[in-house]
Amino acid sequence: MMILKKQLIRNVAIYLRLSKDDGDTEESESISNQRAIILNYLKENFNYENYYEYVDDGFSGATFNRPGFKRMIADLKTKKIDLVITKNLARFARNYIEAGEYIEKLFPDNNIRYIAILDGVDNFEDKVANEFAPIKAVFNELFCKETSKSIKKSKRKKMSEGIYSCNVAPFGYKKDNDNPGKLIIDEYASKIVERIFELTLKGKTAKQIADLFNKEKIITPAEYLKIKGLENRTKKIWTRSMISRILENPVYTGKCLRGKTQNISYKSKKRINIRRNEQIITENTHKAIIPGEIYDKIHNNNKFGKIKGESKGIDVKFAPYMFCGECKNKMSKRRSRKFINIHCPSRNETNYLCSNKKLYKYEELEQLIIDSIRKEFDIYLKKNNLNLSLMKKYNMMKVNEIDSKLKEFNKELGIIRFKISKLYNDRLQESISEDDYKKMYNALTKRRKELSEDIEILENEKNNINNDSENISKIKEVKNVLKNLDKEFLTDEDIGEIIEKIYLYDNHIQIFYKFEKMPSKIISC
């Protein structure tokens, strides 16, 4: 009986994935089961030095936005992975198009072997199973799509039955311990909700109520419900938006309004708003905190829920780059009579969130910024008075020389790696002595290290040249932008070529430029 010798390999990446969302609920697909199958396969077929394990437990195969997978791809280069192995194709991914990019392009281009054990896929061997891999991947993706549809139908059925399936109950309610899908009144929080509606009926605005609650140190919904992931100042501060969300929520009248948003597709986590007539409203699913007539009276009041004036058509070139210097939030804009005002968005939320309460006239800000830009770039361009065309040609010539050397070094490095691999097998088969093996191995690894260091030096040199070339291109673009700085067709993208951001403080402006050697500039306002 002929005994097949095991293949020699250095570093192995084991990838394990499990997701309840796309139907992976069987014990046969468990992480421990996948691990056992892979390790047994490696033991029978390979002699390896190291293996690295990457696990995504609870992540769908329809997307590649998985922490374990992303970490594995990042490690492929740094850890010099030679082999990626999964139990089957479905564990790697259920997305056919992107899976093919990895298996058929990225892995072969980087000399990385991929094996899906149960599907018989091995991209380093000429096997029939490899030809059927795309077809198998298509079926995996169809399975994921159908599972997503089933889950969506199940969720909508629960919604139509008035079952409240969100993880956290709305402020004012809590979940019934005996029936988690049913809401019951929270005595403490419901009193705050009632007070919000009462104060609104008396003519208080959402901002005035928020300021009053902050003054009285009333606990916010996020703090009360112990909602995690809100480790910022707004967690402990009432804002206009918080009050408005409570006033706008029909759940307090005993209704269950669900299905307001949904994922664009089973492959995307991005959500879109659903039309009101397609949302699911179930009456009398729980006890009301606010009578329906009071809710309707508030919403029929012109002062509440007033539609904001549209800001379309306002020509504010620099507004997208303006931020509050105090709280770092992006500045808001609104038209006030003949002027366009810029202000910190927290100004309308509460007086307790940010100290910057100033209203800026945009036209005045724009002129100050334009004058400063002209002055600063006049100084910058005089300091960098270089022949840009000659510099560009020289840089292109240097890059071509480096690319030629890199190609030569990488080719030699590939040969060295092949020789080392062959040397391993020769020694395994005892074709050479131990002394000869050590001498040849030391010589090859020494040369491999030298080549790797030379390649790294050349790559760094090339990156520096490319950065320099990029800077030259930026200077050309800046000159064109400066010519058109006062013209009507200047876009905010043009401004983005030279400005990173603009911070607005109470009595001064700080402009940050996109050029490394250009310091930020502070001007009075």
- Confirm whether 17 is domain-assigned: yes
pLDDT grade, residue 23 (50/70/90)? very low
Distance CA 324, CA 129 (A): 59
Q: Which pLDDT score is estimated for 2? A: 41
CA 8, distance to chain mean position in Å, is: 39
Q: Which pLDDT score is estimated for 9? A: 83
Pair 250, 375 in one domain? no
Span 307-315, average pLDDT: 49
Pair 494, 472 in one domain? yes
Pair 121, 194 in one domain? no
- Confirm whether 160 is domain-assigned: no
Q: Which pLDDT score is estimated for 198? A: 92
Q: Which pLDDT score is estimated for 216? A: 92
State pLDDT tens for residues 166-181: 677 888 888 888 877 7
Helix (H, G, I), strand (E, B) or coil at 423: helix
User: Given a cut of 90, is residue 209 above it in pLDDT?
Assistant: yes
Pair 275, 396 in one domain? no
For 250, the domain range is 173-299
Residue 166 or residue 150, greater confidence? 166
User: Given a cut of 50, is residue 306 above it in pLDDT?
Assistant: no
Pair 435, 345 in one domain? yes
Q: Which pLDDT score is estimated for 314? A: 56
Pair 333, 280 in one domain? no
| Cβ atoms of 423 and 439 closer than 8 Å | no
Residue written as token pair 């003519």:
203
- Confirm whether 162 is domain-assigned: no
Q: Which pLDDT score is estimated for 129? A: 43
Pair 141, 179 in one domain? no
- Confirm whether 158 is domain-assigned: no
Q: Which pLDDT score is estimated for 16? A: 93
pLDDT grade, residue 274 (50/70/90)? low
Residue 268 or residue 398, greater confidence? 398
Mean pLDDT, rounded, of the chain: 77
Instruction: Please state the domain count of the chain.
Output: 3
Span 290-314, average pLDDT: 63
Residue written as token pair 């664009």:
264
Pair 442, 508 in one domain? yes
Pair 255, 360 in one domain? no
Rounded to 5°, the CA angle 136-59-141 comes to 25
Residue 153 or residue 123, greater confidence? 123
State pLDDT tens for residues 424-468: 778 777 788 888 888 888 898 898 889 888 898 988 888 777 666
Distance CA 335, CA 513 (A): 28
- Confirm whether 401 is domain-assigned: yes
| Domain's final residue, options 241, 267, 299 | 299
Take residue 343 and report the two structure tokens written for it: 């202000």
Span 103-117, average pLDDT: 83
Take residue 23 and report the two structure tokens written for it: 């139907």
Q: Which pLDDT score is estimated for 191? A: 93
Q: What percent of the chain has pLDDT over 90?
A: 12
Q: Which pLDDT score is estimated for 525? A: 74
CATH code, domain carrying 287: 3.90.1750
User: Given a cut of 60, is residue 278 above it in pLDDT?
Assistant: no
Measured over the CA atoms of residue 459, residue 465, residue 468 and residue 474, the dihedral's sign is negative
Q: Which pLDDT score is estimated for 232? A: 46
**Residue 22: what residue type?**
D
User: Given a cut of 60, is residue 394 above it in pLDDT?
Assistant: yes
Rounded to 5°, the CA angle 164-165-167 comes to 115
| Domain's final residue, options 299, 323, 340 | 299
- Confirm whether 164 is domain-assigned: no
- Confirm whether 166 is domain-assigned: no
Pair 100, 217 in one domain? no
Per-residue 3-state assignment (H helix, E strand, C coil) for 110-174: CCCEEEECCCCEECCCCCHHHHHHHHHHHHHHHHHHHHHHHHHHHHHHHHHCCCCCCCCCCCCEE
Pair 471, 328 in one domain? yes
Q: Which pLDDT score is estimated for 15? A: 94
State pLDDT tens for residues 48-79: 888 899 999 888 777 788 899 999 988 887 77
| Domain's final residue, options 268, 299, 330 | 299
User: Given a cut of 80, is residue 21 above it in pLDDT?
Assistant: no
pTM: 0.44
- Confirm whether 163 is domain-assigned: no
Pair 228, 135 in one domain? no
Span 258-270, average pLDDT: 54
Q: What percent of the chain has pLDDT over 70?
A: 70
